[in-house]
Amino acid sequence: MNKFTLSKEECLLFIIDMQERLFPAMKYGKEIIEKTNILAAAAKAMNMPVIVTEHYPKGLGKTVSEIASSLENALIFEKNSFSACTDEIVAALKAKGRKKIMVVGTETHVCVFQTVRGLIGLGYEVFIVSDAVASRSKGNYRNGLDLMKSMGAVITNTETVLFDLMKESGSPEFKALSKLIK
């Protein structure tokens, strides 16, 4: 059951391409921002590293301000490849020493899918936070999730991730984070 278990000591939050000019076309954009911010707050409270990518920021802009404002200690990388498994980003992942990667971002069937394929190929355990990934169409979103599940990624959601990381009520993390999901 270890494959389905998250612990703050093993996890890293990976935010893929949630950018200014790309994001308005995403279905459920407001919810995706809300869920990503909850996960970013959890990462901060639990001292988990955060890595952010921006695909071709010259054309697509920077990370949306609603998310960027909560990423004070995140490592941010520019990329032009659809997969975020570039040499530079993979080196940063290895340096963090975390084997379980929680993935959020856009688009589910393109950059998220190709990144997850690369991460699994490198031996990482990947958790797709389904209510914090998006595509422009529901069909592409579903297809992306199906492909990643077939490759061995765990498909989950923000509340499941949060409560699994917290483990029990009464902890300092529970007191700080439970109000985010009411």
Under CATH, to which class is 12-100+120-134+153-181 assigned?
A: alpha beta
Confidence of residue 122 (pLDDT cuts 50, 70, 90): very high
Q: Any catalytic annotation for residue 131?
A: no
| The token pair that represents 12 in the structure block | 């890293």
For residue 23, is pLDDT > 90? no
How much of the chain, in percent, has pLDDT values that exceed 90?
Answer: 76
Estimate the crossing angle of helix 138-151 against helix 113-121, to 10 degrees: 0
Confidence of residue 123 (pLDDT cuts 50, 70, 90): very high
Q: Look at residues 138, 177, 176 and name the one whose alpha carbon lies nearest to residue 158.
A: 177
- The alpha carbon dihedral of 103, 105, 111, 112 has a sign of positive
For residue 170, is pLDDT > 90? no
Annotated catalytic residue, options 8, 35, 44, 79:
79
Q: Where are the domains positioned within the chain? A: 12-100+120-134+153-181
Full-model pTM: 0.95
Lowest mean pLDDT among 40-49, 114-123, 142-151, 164-173: 164-173
Query: Which is more confidently placed, 99 or 25?
Result: 99
For residue 99, is pLDDT > 80? yes
Confidence of residue 1 (pLDDT cuts 50, 70, 90): confident
Q: How far apart are CA 162 and CA 35, in angstroms?
A: 11
Confidence of residue 168 (pLDDT cuts 50, 70, 90): confident
Contacts of 1 (CB under 8 A, 6+ apart): none
Please give the helix or strand (H or E) that residue 162 lies within, else none: helix 158-166
Confidence of residue 31 (pLDDT cuts 50, 70, 90): very high
Confidence of residue 37 (pLDDT cuts 50, 70, 90): very high
| The token pair that represents 165 in the structure block | 């990381």
Whole-number mean pLDDT of the chain?
Answer: 93
Q: Any catalytic annotation for residue 85?
A: no
Q: DSSP label at 140?
A: H
Annotated catalytic residue, options 85, 100, 111, 131:
111
| The token pair that represents 97 in the structure block | 């020493």
Annotated catalytic residue, options 17, 44, 85, 100:
17
- Widest pairwise Cα distance in the chain: 46
Confidence of residue 178 (pLDDT cuts 50, 70, 90): confident
Q: Any catalytic annotation for residue 111?
A: yes
| The token pair that represents 154 in the structure block | 């765990």
